[in-house]
Amino acid sequence: MSIRIGELAKRTRCPIVTIRYYETEDLLPPPTRSRGNYRLYDDAHVERLQFIRHCRSLDMTLTEVRKLLSYRDTPMQDCGEVNTLLDKHIGQVEVRVEALLQLKRNLLALREKCSGTRAAASCGILQGLSDCACHAAPENSAEICKA
């Protein structure tokens, strides 16, 4: 099977520009070319691009994807480092989740400063945003804005 880039994009729901980018990043092998110099892809490209897209949907970096592809391309290699890579990624996700939960707590605390409608001049949310010194002291912003 040989398909052109538009069909590959359709089958994988991946923008053409992203496919070309993955090629320049050596995540996808170079396609063959038709006599008219069109890129021609095969089933291996479809499957590899789906793998890459799945990794990216799990918010893996291109570096992580590249490492996973290298293990995938050498199937007899021990996969212990794949486990380590995934454990590290899970740890990074946990850090981001905690940061988002802290953000949610800050927003909820801010939201509690104003209930109902009133003049903007007496809006507790606007006052709370003005009172936060995060922008004035970035080194202490986490401490200042948690209150």
Domain boundary among 58, 73, 88: 73
Which of 29, 25, 52 has its CA nearest to residue 41? 29
20-59 pLDDT per residue, tens: 999 999 999 999 998 999 999 999 999 999 999 999 999 9
Shared domain for 126 and 69, answered yes or no, is no
Q: Which domain holds residue 130?
A: 118-147
Shared domain for 13 and 68, answered yes or no, is yes
Q: Is residue 85 part of a domain?
A: no
Confidence band, pLDDT 50/70/90 cuts, at residue 117: confident
Q: Is residue 82 part of a domain?
A: no
Q: Is residue 23 part of a domain?
A: yes
CA distance 100 to 141: 16
64-111 pLDDT per residue, tens: 999 999 999 998 989 999 999 999 999 999 999 999 999 999 899 888
Which of 15, 77, 80 has its CA nearest to residue 52? 15
Q: Is residue 54 part of a domain?
A: yes
CATH of the domain at 31: 1.10.1660.10
Shared domain for 11 and 69, answered yes or no, is yes
Domain boundary among 73, 108, 128: 73
Q: Is residue 31 part of a domain?
A: yes
Question: For the chain, what is the domain count?
Answer: 2
CA distance 38 to 76: 35
Letter for the amino acid at 57? Answer: S
Q: Is residue 43 part of a domain?
A: yes
Is the pTM higher than 0.85? The answer reads no
Question: What pLDDT was estimated at residue 118?
Answer: 80
